[in-house]
Chain A
Amino acid sequence: MSRPELIAPPEIYYGDTESKKYTNNTRIQQVQADMTYRALELLNLPPAQPAFLLDIGCGSGLSGEILDDEGHIWAGVDIAPSMLEVALEREVEGDLFLQDIGQGFGFRPGSFDGAISISVLQWLLNAETSHPTSSPPHRLTRFFTTLFSALRNPSRAVLQFYPSSDDQIQLITSLAQKAGFGGGLVVDYPNSNKAKKVFLVLMVGSGGQVPQGLQGGAEGVENEEKVKFEKRRERAKARASMKKKSIKGKDWVLKKKELYRQRGKEDVPRDSKYTARKRKIRF
């Protein structure tokens, strides 16, 4: 998978040409739309009620259009001016802000009924300068704390992102929890390399349980449940564990003692309820 966040900071990577490419690519449009619908589903907004949402990293407004279609009113922030320019050209409905989410938001407490963010958080994981406010943990903390206060209670924020390691997931979830959020990670199609999508579902107040990730393969993605020769390995494992189990159990000890008695060996201990019983751990 290509990792544009390793190439340049977002405001530079998404320059004029890249913004246009991104917005006009039908495959990206499709992926973005799918993820936005899924994020809306995970947001679990009250039905048939227009909400005021925040689109974090709105870019050219691809997901914003879907929010419009669903009847919601939204405001979007993005750090790439070229992307926002494309959004202006496309005449999206929402309010746009040029903002670095790592610097935090200035919204009043309880402003939004929910927040979504598609493919953004991974951009916060690279330090651009050596200044202390530029370190990923600092920026993430600032982002999460200000986002937490900008959300209404109860509400949710659904942030889809592409983590490149488990450490990144660990860092992000722990910082979100420190900022006061409940919730956790929802992984859709965990067995598929291509269709796998990671959503961070953050809850303010009594959001309830973390929803389940979608299982199985997505359409058009091959779903390989098992690796080749998996069965053979499983059988070998089962055989090994069976052998191990039979060693020095109670039956084995009793059989041995019986054998010794038959042979006339002296001092064979009597059988009792303590025979072959495991010692307590503390011993």
Chain B
Amino acid sequence: MVRLITHNLLACHAKGCTSNNFPLQLKDVQIALREADFNPDFVRGFMPKIEWNALVNAARQLGDSSLPAEQPEMIDDDLLKALHHVLLEIHIEEGQMTCPNCNHVYPISNGIPNMLLAEHEIA
């Protein structure tokens, strides 16, 4: 049940991996779409936190191209709806996330990513 909202916030936390560790690269993913209640206030409040490029790339990789490549200045209802869909309705069920810096693989199974580190990777 990783949604893109959390994928957009998630960086690698292994020892010494402090730069270029975001966004985690998605691989071999299976997705599921589940409807969620549309809450425009939440989406609007969340917008400043979004790393736009990472979100658009991840969404395109998952086959959703409803978002423009550049973050638009104007916020209208269509944009909020598209954002809501991308952030909260696309669930990643299976697959893996790889850190672009240290290549640590976080496997996702049953919708739950395994973020555990081995002993030598703990900072």
* Cα distance, A73 to B39, chains bound together (Å): 10
With A49-B41, A103-B122 known to touch, is A108 a contact of B9 (CB < 8 Å)? yes
Set B9, B45, B49, B123: member contacting A104, Cβ < 8 A: B123
Contact A131 B119 (CB under 8 A): yes
B107 → A minimal CB distance (Å): 10
Please report the total number of B residues contacting A with Cβ < 8 Å.
32
Asked whether A49 lies within 8 Å of B45 as measured between CB atoms, the reply is yes
Instruction: Enumerate chain A residues within 8 angstroms of B2, measured Cβ to Cβ.
Output: 95
**How far is it, in angstroms, between the C-alpha of A100 and the C-alpha of B9 when the chains are bound?**
18
- The yes or no answer to A106 lying at the interface (CB within 8 A) is yes
Contact: A103 with B116, CB < 8 Å?
Answer: yes
The docked-state distance in angstroms from the alpha carbon of A105 to that of B114 is 12
Interface presence of B88 (CB below 8 A):
yes
Nearest A residue to B22 by beta-carbon distance?
Answer: A108
A98 and B51 contact, Cβ closer than 8 Å, known pairs A103-B122, A106-B13, A108-B11? no
Interface string of A40-52 (1 = CB under 8 A from B): 0000000001111
Given A49-B41, A88-B111, A106-B10: A96 and B116 within 8 A (CB)?
no
Q: How many residues of A contact B (CB 8 A)?
A: 33
Shortest Cβ distance from residue A224 to the other chain B in the assembled complex, whole angstroms: 46
Min CB distance, A123 to chain B, in Å? 15
Contact A106 B12 (CB under 8 A): yes
Establish whether residues A110 and B13, one from each chain, have CB atoms under 8 Å apart when the complex forms. no
Bound complex: CA of A52 vs CA of B1, how far in Å? 16
Report which of B1, B45, B119, B123 forms a contact with A50, defined as CB distance below 8 A. Answer: B45
Flag if B122 contacts A95 (CB, 8 Å). no
B110: Cβ under 8 A from any A Cβ: yes
Nearest first, the 3 A-B pairs at minimum CB distance are: A106-B13, A99-B115, A50-B42
Please name 18 pairs of A and B residues whose Cβ atoms are closer than 8 Å in the assembled complex, sorted by A: A51-B45, A71-B39, A75-B6, A88-B111, A88-B112, A95-B1, A97-B115, A99-B115, A103-B13, A103-B115, A103-B123, A104-B122, A105-B13, A106-B11, A108-B10, A133-B119, A133-B122, A133-B123
Name A's B-contacting residues (CB within 8 A): 49-52, 71, 73, 75, 77, 79, 84-85, 88, 93-100, 103-108, 110-111, 129, 131, 133, 142, 146
